[in-house]
Structure formats: C-alpha cells, structure tokens
Amino acid sequence: MFKHISATQIPDVSPILSEDYSDIIFRYQSSPESLFDELASYAPQLVDIQYIILHAPLSDRLATVEELGYSGVPKLFAPIDTVSLEAAGILPAQIQPYLDLSGRGILIGFLDSGIDYTLPAFRNIDGTTRIARIWDQTDQSGTAPEGLPYGSEYTDDMLNQALFSGDPLSLVPERDESGHGTSVAGIACGSADAGDDFIGAAPEARIVFVRLKQAKQYLRDYFLIPQGATVYQETDLMLGVRYMVDVSRELRMPLVICISVGTNQGSHTGATPLEEVLTSAQFNTGVYAVAGTGNETGMGHHFQGRLSRVDDFTEVELLVNQETRGFTVEFWADAPELYSIGFTSPLGETIQPVQPRSGTTLEFNFLLEYSRIALTYTIVETLSGAQLALIRFLNPTPGVWRIRVVNKTFVNGVFHLWLPVTDLVDPEIRFYAPNSDVTLVIPSCAASVITVSAYSAYNNSLFIHSGRGYTRNGMVKPNFASPGVDLTAPLPGGRYTSLTGSCAASALTAGAVALLAEAGLRQEQPRYFTTQEIVSLFLRGAERNSSYIYPNPEWGYGTMNVYGIFESFLRS
C-alpha cells in the first residue's frame, strides 16, 4: 500500500501539520521497532500497542475509504453540547467529615478547545496552578512533548512562573477562544468560589489538558463538513489519550479521561480506533474514561429499518430543505446480512440498487440536476465485521431524496443509517421518519467507557436531546444518567455561565469518578479500582424510579448518586 517518500518530498512543515499530507490510522500486527524502520519516511507516531499514525503526501492517493479502508481514515468529532451537585450526591460526599472527598491525588484529563489557566477555578489557595500539564496542539512556538513532534507542552512550573509574572500570556500563550474546554474542566474540577456559589465536582484534582487542533481541510472536504464548523480529527484525539496516559505514569496518579466530543461516524458497537485506544489505555491500572451519550435525540440523524425476507426493500426518505455542498450518510448492518442500495432524486431520477462489491467507489451523476452521489461499499469492515456503505451526497438538489435498501442475504433484516452529528451537517438535513434509539455518539459505545446520559436535577426529567441507547449490538448504554442541565461553569475572563447537554453530564461524572478513585486510595490498604468496579459502584448507588424498568435506553440503571454508593455499603 505504501510507497517510499524521498527526502526531497518531505515538506518544511511537519507532515502532521501540513495540509498537503494525509493522516493514516495504521493497525499493526508486528513489533513496532521493525515497523518504525520500514515506515520511517511516513513520520510514524506510536499511539499504543495496536495503532500507529502515518502521514503520506496527498499525491500518493492514500486518503479515502476506498484507498485505506474505513478504519484507516480519521473520523471527525465535534463538541457535544448545546442544585446538580447535591442531586448527584457529590456535595454530601465532599462535606461529610468522614468521607471529605475532593479529588486529591487524582488527575483528570480533557481533550477540548483549550483552558484559561489564569482563572481562580484552576488554582490552589496560594495562587499556584492545579494544572499539571497542557499540550496545545495548535501552538508551534514552544517545545513539543517528548515523542510527539507537534504542538507545545507547558508544565506546572512554567504555568506558575507565568501566573506570578504579571503578564501570564506573554510566557504561556494558552487561550480558550470558544470557552468550551474551560467550562467542561470547571464543572469537573473547578476550585470553590463562594462569591459566585460555585464549586466543581472534584475541586482538588489535578488537571492534564490537551488543546485539540482543528481537522485538516482534506478531511473536511472528503466528509463534506459545513464551512466554519469546529471539528477535530480522530488521530489527534488518539495521540491526546497517549499523552495523558504518559503524564499519569510520570506523576504516578490515577487518571480520569473526560471525553466532551463525539461523532456518528462508526459502527456504534465500540469498534473504532479511538474506542480501542481508550480500552487499551485502561490496561494501565487506574485509568478511567467517561463520555456522554451526545445530544442527537430529536435531531433526525438516525434511521433504523427492518425487512422481512430476501429481496424485500424499503425506501428511506431523507429531507434536504436547503442548498448545501453536500453531506455523508453511513449505512451499517451485521454480517452475514447483505444489502444493495439505490437512490431516487427529488426530481424523480432513479439509480437502481447496486450489488455490493467491497472496496470500490461508484459515482452517479443525474441528468437533470447537478447532484452527484459517491457510494463506497465495504462488505466486511475491518474492526466491526459489519457491512458498511459510505454514501456521499454532493451538491444535492433540495427536496425529498429516497434511499432504496434491498435485502440480499436475510437473517433478521435490521439495518441502520446515520447522518453526521449536529454541527457537522447542515441543520435542515434529516431523515423523514427518524428513530430516537441508538442515538449514542462515539466513543460512548465502547464497553470500557463509563457512559452517561443527561437529565435535569431541577425536575428529574431527561434532557430532551440526550442520546439514547442501546448500542447497535445491544450493549446496555448509557450506564446511568447524570445531571447535565443548567450546570454552572466558568468562562475565560472570570465570568460564569450555565452549560447544558452531554458535555456537562460527562464533566460532572468525570469529577465523580475522581472522588471514587480518591476513596480507593484512602482505604486502609490503598487500591486502584478497575473500571468495572467503578461502574458497579455507581450502579449500586444509583437512584431508581419505581415507574421505570431498568436498565433502559434513556436512564441506563438509574441516576447518579455518589453519596448513595457509601450509603449502600452501610445498609448492607
């Protein structure tokens, strides 16, 4: 697949940053030492025991699904957002004299837009920082982390020097232009501010922050992302996870990874490179990952169909209510089932269902309009084993499009289609008859990830857009629900706001996980809980409404109650 790159082809700008180079997720099966020698000209970056990131000139045509396979192309992620501490049992766990939990000795990691490190929310009483490390992938002016040749790393010593200099940003130019990362980190572990009645869930935890760079333009173009959208690529997230694990090892501290971004690109079974990296990270004792279910319910981005026999078919209606340069749709179905797909445009032109052939892209032009469709079949997707059809609509005519799905090999007739998550597709594009279940975003589908839906602690109602389970292969997700409506959060510059949605729920839960990890370290014989133990503790402490059957796709096993965990042990 790979050709050697000569020295004259290597650009002045690092291939990791160059818009002239593609980024490739490579899953290896031999020793990394031998691979690094063989692939040295592709600037390989080791992620973990399974994955290496490679970089190739776009002229080598190693950028698309048909050239690399689905798992080899980085997927695109967007931020998932749009009284609670007490309802979640966090405040009682903080103030109960015997427990007195605050996240001491625990590291919480964030992958987001940046952090305003100057805020009191991230400082100790003496004014020093609680931030252990920042890796800013967008800033090339400083020294990159060891083994990661891009971005700038800032240590706690550098941050403290800046904070007491009188002009912090001249020494450490770390900013958060959108405020999203600052707010998420503040909810999880902001220091107490009595004047504004604010405190984070784990106010004494330390912080490691990865400021994600924006995705490359070739990926935006390939996946037809709207102009101006905030979008991150999977490779930077994977390397961010590696960095946080390295820092936690160096500091010898348990690590809670808070995931506040999500995507609909993937099988929704936990089988994506990022989800596998999060799983392998937890082979290290004391590493936990938390993700929200996303905010996709009610957005019309998921369709589930069921056919009854071979050659049975249905037409899935897709509304395109505005001019758009294009969008993608992903079709997924489990083996051994097989499906053919065809199309009818709003003007009535029809493309008959095409027999699936793996690894090829078929392009269709319409005679009476400028619309084009590129259809790429993958009969056996590498990580999930499922059938995938990636459909790219280019310059589609506004109106009702029909996707004809025909069963060719029948077992149960179930298939799914997903549009991209909100903000990565134009807002007037949706399925005519969407399904609200299986609206979890990735990486919340992974078994190893602690997954939470969002609800309002003010009226005990589920947040209207909170993503719903289960996963496509029937795994119980979410694990439980966490407060995620109108949570107080800091903003850059020292102001406060309220944050609602999946990112708020995942941040609060990340802080709660830090409290449990701290409780483990403070036992008479200190210990690291496993992820499964942490999940089981949350389930034992969760509150359940007698009107519901548990587990269920909206609430999982109930609503989070950290103090209830300790009460459950007293009762037993």
Asked if 273 and 450 count as a contact pair (C-beta separation under 8 A), the reply is: no
The DSSP letter of residue 118 is T
Residue 566: per-residue pLDDT: 77
Task: State how far the alpha carbon of 3 is from the alpha carbons of 12, 362, 484, in Å.
Answer: 20, 26, 49
Is pLDDT of 572 > 70?
A: no
Domains of the chain, residue spans: 7-63, 84-297+442-571, 302-431
- Give 134-157 pLDDT, tens digit per residue: 999 999 999 999 999 999 999 999
Q: Residue 8 — very low, low, confident or very high, per pLDDT cuts 50/70/90?
A: very low
Higher pLDDT, 11 or 294: 294
Is pLDDT of 2 > 80?
A: no
Q: CATH code for 302-431? A: 2.60.120.1290
Is pLDDT of 86 > 60?
A: no
Q: Which amino acid is at 293?
A: T
In this prediction, what percent of the chain has a pLDDT beyond 70?
94
- Give 347-389 pLDDT, tens digit per residue: 999 999 999 988 789 999 998 889 999 999 999 999 999 999 9
What is the β-pairing status of strands 287-292 and 450-456?
A: parallel
Q: CATH code for 84-297+442-571? A: 3.40.50.200
Asked if 177 and 113 count as a contact pair (C-beta separation under 8 A), the reply is: yes
- Give 453-501 pLDDT, tens digit per residue: 999 989 999 999 999 999 999 999 999 999 999 999 999 999 998 899 9
Same fold, 84-297+442-571 and 302-431: no
State the average pLDDT for the chain: 92
Is pLDDT of 300 > 60?
A: yes
How is residue 40 written in tokens?
Answer: 């040295």
- Between CA 552 and CA 536 the distance in angstroms is 16
Task: State how far the alpha carbon of 405 is from the alpha carbons of 317, 340, 358, 435, in Å.
Answer: 11, 6, 17, 17
Residue 452: per-residue pLDDT: 98
In this prediction, what percent of the chain has a pLDDT beyond 90?
82
Nearest CA-CA partner of 185 in 244, 127, 240, 116: 116
| Element of type H or E holding 46 | strand 45-46
State pTM to two decimals. Answer: 0.95
Least confident of 400-404, 410-414, 486-490: 486-490
The DSSP letter of residue 477 is -
Asked if 130 and 191 count as a contact pair (C-beta separation under 8 A), the reply is: yes
Rg (CA), the chain: 24
Residue 6: per-residue pLDDT: 45
Q: Residue 7 — very low, low, confident or very high, per pLDDT cuts 50/70/90?
A: very low
Asked if 286 and 137 count as a contact pair (C-beta separation under 8 A), the reply is: no
Is pLDDT of 281 > 80?
A: yes
Q: Which amino acid is at 497?
A: T
Is pLDDT of 437 > 70?
A: yes
- Residue 506, class by beta-carbon neighbours within 10 Å (0-12 exposed, 13-18 middle, 19+ buried)? buried
How is residue 96 written in tokens?
Answer: 């109960």
